[in-house]
């Protein structure tokens, strides 16, 4: 029973934090350390959770997904390249950082700074092009580091470049499709046969990550429209201070 509860909790955490600018990887590191009786479920479980959030993107943008992909096709390709290079070259280094809650705590402070800047920077009507899509891709590559929010870093980069925040948020969510699929493929190739499958737990995690992923996308879009990104800055700041204090 506890395994099912843990699967549900991790599904909720993954669903919410994959798209909220607060870092899914950082939260999973914390929750995996504090959940009672938790044992590492294996890389396949992580892949299942991410699949749930991918489905959430497809469902949320279902009415304009095709147009978003085709209108931004080359920009998505360009923005994906930095993450592919960094992921392949530095995967082992980032993997070791997952063991350090102190490191993750400091990264939460980075998320706080990015969310604050997003909340105050002004839209300048800049369009997404090859140059700024590559810069957004670099921001996404940096977010491979545990604790740095992928959505936060990409929306931050686009906002600082002057792109409309709603447009860059949509771009960020669509960009998550190749980014997350690529990361999961790398994990499967590296660890694919190392974990047993508990279909019940996996299904629970999948459903919760999907449902709360949908909720998170809606929240981000609403917060951007209403200029409330400072909420995420305060949350990440407080969480970062707590994690650092408990890690010392």
Domain boundaries, the chain: 2-247
How far apart are alpha carbons 154 and 133 in whole angstroms? Answer: 10
> In which element (H, E) is residue 187 found?
helix 165-191
Question: Taking the model in full, what pTM does it have?
Answer: 0.88
What does the pLDDT look like over 144-158, one tens digit per residue? 887 889 999 999 999
If you search the block for the tokens 């999948």, which residue do you land on? Answer: 206
SS3 126: strand
User: Which pLDDT tens digits describe the chain residue by residue (248 residues)?
Assistant: 667 888 888 899 889 988 999 987 788 777 777 766 655 556 677 778 888 999 999 999 999 999 999 999 999 999 999 988 987 887 677 666 666 788 889 999 999 999 999 999 998 989 999 999 999 999 999 988 878 899 999 999 999 999 999 999 999 999 988 877 776 776 666 655 555 567 788 899 999 999 999 999 999 999 998 888 999 999 999 999 999 998 88
SS3 22: coil
CB burial class (10 A; 0-12, 13-18, 19+) of residue 206? buried
Backbone angles phi, psi at 237, to 5 degrees: -65, -50
How far apart are alpha carbons 152 and 146 in whole angstroms? Answer: 13
**Cα torsion for 67, 15, 29, 134, to the nearest 10°?**
10
- Please, what is the end-to-end C-alpha distance for the chain in angstroms? 33
- Beta-carbon contacts of 141 under 8 Å, excluding residues fewer than 6 positions away, are 82, 83, 85, 86, 87
- Residue 44 corresponds to which tokens in the numbers above? 């396949």
- Residue 173 corresponds to which tokens in the numbers above? 């969510």
Picking from 35, 29, 157, the residue whose alpha carbon sits closest to that of residue 104 is: 29
How far apart are alpha carbons 43 and 50 in whole angstroms? Answer: 11
- Residue 118 corresponds to which tokens in the numbers above? 């997003």
**Taking the CB of residue 29, how many other CB atoms lie within 10 A of it?**
20
- Residue 181 corresponds to which tokens in the numbers above? 């699929």
Is 182 in contact with 160 (CB distance < 8 Å)?
A: no
How far apart are alpha carbons 92 and 87 in whole angstroms? Answer: 9
- Residue 98 corresponds to which tokens in the numbers above? 């997952």
């Amino acid at each position: 029973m506890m395994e099912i509860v843990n699967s549900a909790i991790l599904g909720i955490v993954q669903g919410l934090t994959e798209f909220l600018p607060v870092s899914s990887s950082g939260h999973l590191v914390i929750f995996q350390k504090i959940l009672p009786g938790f044992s590492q479920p294996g890389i396949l479980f992580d892949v299942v959770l991410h699949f749930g959030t991918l489905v959430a993107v497809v469902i949320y943008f279902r009415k304009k997904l095709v147009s978003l992909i085709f209108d931004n096709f080359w920009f998505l390709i360009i923005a994906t390249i930095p993450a592919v290079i960094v992921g392949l070259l530095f995967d082992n280094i980032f993997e070791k950082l997952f063991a350090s809650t102190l490191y993750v705590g400091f990264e939460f402070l980075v998320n706080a700074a990015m969310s604050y800047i997003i909340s105050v920077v002004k839209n300048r009507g800049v369009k997404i092009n090859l140059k700024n899509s590559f810069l957004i891709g670099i921001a996404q590559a940096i977010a491979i580091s545990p604790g740095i929010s992928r959505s936060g870093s990409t929306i931050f980069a686009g906002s600082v470049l002057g792109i409309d925040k709603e447009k860059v948020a949509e771009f960020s969510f669509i960009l998550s499709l190749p980014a997350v699929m690529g990361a999961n493929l790398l994990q499967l190739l590296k660890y694919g046969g190392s974990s047993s499958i508990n279909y019940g737990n996996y299904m629970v995690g999948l459903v919760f990550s999907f449902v709360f992923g949908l909720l998170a996308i809606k929240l981000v879009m609403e917060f951007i429209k209403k200029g409330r990104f400072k909420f995420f800055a305060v949350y990440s700041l407080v969480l970062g201070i707590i994690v650092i204090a408990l890690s010392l």
